Amino acid sequence: MDDLISELLAAGLSTDDLKHLERLSDPAVLQALPPHTRHPKHNQKADVITYMQTWADVLEARLVAKISLPDFALPAEV
């Protein structure tokens, strides 16, 4: 278990991320969950899967929000 935690921390997760993961309690993830699933139980496989998939979506949205692309507008025809 220590090796797993070390790997997760080395991959960029914080100790708060690990605490939220253990309890399925990250406020941003809970807010992004469908309304009928906002109280996931850590011992319910389906709840954990939904939480993890939603967490991945939240992380992806944060990453995409940081990316800025140049304006590739086509030049106007003369």
Q: What single string gives the DSSP state of each residue in 4-62?
A: HHHHHHHTT--HHHHHHHHHT--HHHHHHS-GGGSS--TT-HHHHHHHHHHHHHHHHHH
Q: What is the pLDDT of residue 72?
A: 80
Q: How many residues does the chain have?
A: 78
Q: What is the pLDDT of residue 11?
A: 96
**Spatial contact of 18 and 5, defined as CB atoms under 8 Å apart:** yes
**Which is it for the CA torsion 54, 10, 66, 20, positive or negative?**
positive
pTM of the model as a whole: 0.80
pLDDT means per 10 residues, the chain with 78 residues, are 95 95 96 94 96 96 92 75
Q: What is the pLDDT of residue 25?
A: 97
